Amino acid sequence: MGQIFDRQVAGPTITKISDISQLPPELALEILKNLNATDLCLAACVWQTLANDEILWLGLCKSNWTYASIYNRAHNDGISFRKIYLQLDEGTLRFNAGQGLQYFIEHELLDDTCEEISKFIHNTRKLRATEKRKLLQARRDILERLIEFQSYENQFLPNALRQFFAKLDAPEDRNEYLSFLIENFSKRFHECNKNLGLSTETIYVLCFSLILLSIDLTSPHVKNKMSKREFIRNTRRAIINGTLSDELAGHLYDNIYLIGHVARSTTAAH
């Protein structure tokens, strides 16, 4: 690990460097930035000062947990980012094991407020989807804030739904939680695309129509697939206040037919 250059090449002689600490600090840090947390801990056994550099550990923290409340006060409180990384990693393991956010809050990594928890979840990909869904089912205030963070401006409705369910895992059944998700998504999509002339109620109906169409077209258990004509007719009947053009309805059908399910975690809609 200490040997950086040790090869023979034709031409000018290349100086061998047996210790990374012989390099200028800026270059040494650039090399160490390529290490993951485990390798960086090992490197600290040899180059303690370099491998414990706060910039390196801050980068590792933010590459895995883009936002955490403790980032704002770490410097003033004299807390090392290496310690923060190890605690965030432990908290993530516990969350994914079904222990919720208790560790994050008890160790002051995360302030126990709707806004701070929402920012943390929104900017973290390491949390297991099923455990995150359990949390959001219990904390609707956090769920609503997460949806407000989303932007669907100038997006086609089925694509926006895919983005939505990629961020917020869909339940397996059509239940009250799914209705709550779609209701709040419809509000947010309407806010981002008022120029479309679609009401929140119409968007809500279209979302469920797209989910049902997704199941119909992708399920191997459905032998008689819904035709475009049937989709347009059924969706129009479901829209009580509002209209749906043949062109838009046709594009919606084609999108599902060509691209696939809008919510792959939704395996049934009873």
Domain boundaries, the chain: 1-52, 68-149, 152-259
Burial of residue 132 (CB within 10 Å: 0-12, 13-18, 19+) is buried
Residue 78's pLDDT is 82
Structure tokens at 209: 């129509």
- Report the top-level CATH class of 68-149: mainly alpha
- The mean pLDDT value of the chain amounts to 84
Average pLDDT over residues 130-145: 95
pLDDT at 193 over 70: yes
Buried (b) or exposed (e) across 110-125, using 16+ Cβ within 10 A?
bbeeeebbbbbbbebe
In percent, the amount of the chain with pLDDT more than 70 equals 78
Query: Which amino acid, 98?
Result: G
Secondary structure, 3-state, the chain: CCCCECCCCCCCCCCCECCHHHCCHHHHHHHHCCCCHHHHHHHHCCCHHHHCCHHHHHHHHHHHECCCHHHHCHHHHCCCHHHHHHHHHHHHHHHHHHHCCHHHHHCCCCCCCHHHHHHHHHCECCCCHHHHHHHHHHCHHHHHHHHHHCCCCCCCHHHHHHHHHHHCCCCCCCCHHHHHHHHHHHHHHHHHCHHHCCCHHHHHHHHHHHHHHHHHHHCCCCCCCCCHHHHHHHHHHHCCCCCCCHHHHHHHHHHHHHHCCCCCCCCCCC
pLDDT at 177 over 80: yes
pLDDT band with cut points at 50, 70 and 90 for residue 56: confident
Residue 3's pLDDT is 46
Instruction: List, in order, residues 6 or more apart from 237 with CB less than 8 Å away.
Output: none
> Could you identify the residue written with the tokens 């980032």?
71
pLDDT at 152 over 70: yes
Average pLDDT over residues 238-263: 91
Residue 248's pLDDT is 94
pLDDT band with cut points at 50, 70 and 90 for residue 60: confident
CB 168 within 8 A of CB 143: yes
Q: In this predicted structure, which of 41-45, 147-151, 210-214 has the lowest mean pLDDT?
A: 41-45
Average pLDDT over residues 130-143: 95
Q: Which residues pair with 65 in a beta bridge?
A: 124
Tell me the backbone φ, ψ of residue 24, rounded to 5 degrees.
-55, 140
Structure tokens at 207: 């979302």
pLDDT band with cut points at 50, 70 and 90 for residue 39: low
Torsion sign across C-alpha atoms 257, 258, 259, 260: positive
pLDDT at 11 over 80: no
Residue 5's pLDDT is 40
Domain 152-259 fold is Arf Nucleotide-binding Site Opener; domain 2 (1.10.1000)
